[in-house]
Amino acid sequence: MSWTLVARKDLAVEWRARETLVPTLLVGLVVVAVGLLAFHDVAERRAIAAGTLWLALAFASGVGLARAFGAEKDRGTLDVLLTLPVERGGVYPGKVAATFVTLLVVAAVTIASYAVASGESYAPSWPGLASIVVLGALGLAASGAILSALAAQARSRDALLPVLLMPILLPLLVAGIHGTMDALAGAPFATWRPELAVIAGYDVAMLAASWLLFEQAVAG
């Protein structure tokens, strides 16, 4: 079974049940509402927008990504996947791809909701913002998928995943927030290129390490 089939299966199941998309969207929108209400009088609007966006994605990931492998575990389909005569590492990229698509939807809705609710226009910043968010969502999906596989072995996986995820995401969140602030300010690419490089390096390192460790993670 190739990783594309795993991704297509997960996306088809999610489209029918929406067990991950709805909770992650709700958490993202709640964080947006809290950010707008709590910091409405703060002068530095771009800093608030950047922090709100990445906190929304981080909390949404912690809540929703427990279902990446948790649902498979509950249905017993994870054991079926792992007993098929295929390389177990091929399951991981499929999970990452499906999670990545879900997070992109959450990010798009979150950004649009914040822009509409705040009444601010970020049109000149969209190319830079999109590149940072896309790479950041990939990092969230890569780290969330492997930690979801680890947490799926525990009974309290819904509470365990955020505890495991947040420290791992710290470099990604710091770089994402600073890069987003610069992009929203209309700064040239050279200004936020270091943050983009940090996010890209995080993605590569997390994808490579997780792919190598995936079989041991699910075997536990």
pLDDT of residue 174: 94
**Cα separation values, 79 from 3, 9, 37, 111, 139, Å:** 17, 16, 45, 37, 26
For the segment 28-38, what is each residue's pLDDT rounded down to a tens digit?
A: 899 999 988 88
Amino acid at 7: A
From the CA atom positions of the chain, what is the Rg in Å?
17
Instruction: Using the predicted structure, report yes or no on whether residue 133 has a pLDDT greater than 80.
Output: yes
For the segment 181-216, what is each residue's pLDDT rounded down to a tens digit?
A: 999 888 888 899 999 999 999 999 999 988 888 877
Q: Give SS3 for 30.
A: helix
Structure tokens at 56: 């929304």
d(CA 70, CA 43): 42
Count of C-beta atoms within a 10 Å radius of residue 145? 27
Contact 120, 53 (CB under 8 A): no
d(CA 210, CA 69): 14
> Model-level pTM?
0.87
d(CA 1, CA 105): 26
Where does the pLDDT of residue 178 fall: very low under 50, low under 70, confident under 90, or very high at 90 and above? very high
Instruction: Using the predicted structure, report yes or no on whether residue 41 has a pLDDT greater than 60.
Output: yes
Contact 145, 65 (CB under 8 A): yes
**Residue 56's domain spans which residues?**
3-219
Where does the pLDDT of residue 157 fall: very low under 50, low under 70, confident under 90, or very high at 90 and above? low
d(CA 198, CA 172): 8
Instruction: Using the predicted structure, report yes or no on whether residue 138 has a pLDDT greater than 90.
Output: yes
Short-list 98, 110, 182, CA closest to 148: 98
Count of C-beta atoms within a 10 Å radius of residue 20? 25
Q: Give SS3 for 111.
A: helix
Burial profile 93-125: b = 16 or more Cβ within 10 angstroms, e = fewer: bbbbbbbbbbbbebbebbbebbeeebeeebeeb
Q: How many folded domains does the chain comprise?
A: 1
For the segment 70-127, what is each residue's pLDDT rounded down to a tens digit?
A: 666 666 666 666 665 556 666 788 888 888 988 899 899 998 898 888 877 776 678 8
List of residues 6+ apart from 26 with CB closer than 8 A: none
d(CA 152, CA 158): 9
User: Which DSSP symbol is given to 89?
Assistant: G
